[in-house]
Amino acid sequence: MPATLKGKIAVFSVTGALSFTGAAKTTNRLVGSNLTDEFEVSELTDGNDDVIGAAAHRHRHRCTFDVIPYDASGNIATAKTNVKLPDPLALVTIEDFGIDELDGTWNYAGGGTIALTPEGWIRMTLPCARYGATPAALS
C-alpha cells in the first residue's frame, strides 16, 4: 500500500524489480540498495611535492542490491529454488525504481551473500557495478 505523504515531500518507500539469467523479476522482492560513485585520482605534483593538477580515471558505480527471494504461488519448494546468486559478471537488470541512477543493467561484481534474517527470511545481497566515464554495464 502506498504511503500517504504530506508537507515537504521526499522519496519514500521506493520499490523495484531485479532479474538475471535464472531469476525472473517475479521470483524476488528488491527491498534495498546502496549506491556509491567511485573513481581513482592521479595527482600531478611539482618539484616541491605540491599538487598542481589531478586526473580522475577508472570511474565506476557500485551498488549493493538487497533481495528477498519468494514464490508468488506460495510453494516453499519453488521459493527455495529461487535462492541463487548470479554468475560472475552476469548482467543484472533493475527496473521500476523510476530512479535513473538505479534502473538499468549492471554487472554482478561478486561477493554476494545469502543470509537468514533475524525475522527468519532469506535475504540476498548482490554487489553490482557499472564502468566508464558514463557508467554502464559491460556486455
Domains: count for the chain: 1
How many angstroms separate the CA atoms of 17 and 69, rounded? 11
7 is a domain residue: no
47 is a domain residue: yes
9 is a domain residue: no
Q: How many CB atoms lie within 10 A of CB 72?
A: 9
Q: Span 7-27, mean pLDDT?
A: 77
What is Dmax (Cα atoms) for the chain?
A: 69
pLDDT of residue 10: 63
Domain extent at residue 21: 17-131
Task: Report whether pLDDT(98) > 90.
Answer: no
2 is a domain residue: no
Q: What is the CATH number of the domain that holds 99?
A: 2.40.30
pTM summary value = 0.82
8 is a domain residue: no
Q: Span 62-83, mean pLDDT?
A: 90
52 is a domain residue: yes
pLDDT of residue 133: 86
pLDDT in tens, 19-50: 899 888 888 888 889 999 999 999 999 999 99
Between 9 and 114, the more confident residue is 114
Task: Report whether pLDDT(2) > 70.
Answer: no
61 is a domain residue: yes
32 is a domain residue: yes
List, as one string, the DSSP characters of 71-110: -TT--HHHHHHT--PPPTT-EEEEESS--TTTSEEEEE-S
Instruction: Collect all residues with Cβ–Cβ distance below 8 Å to 103 and sequence separation of at least 6.
Output: 16, 94, 95, 96, 97
pLDDT of residue 119: 86
Average pLDDT across the chain, whole number: 89
* DSSP 3-state of 70: coil
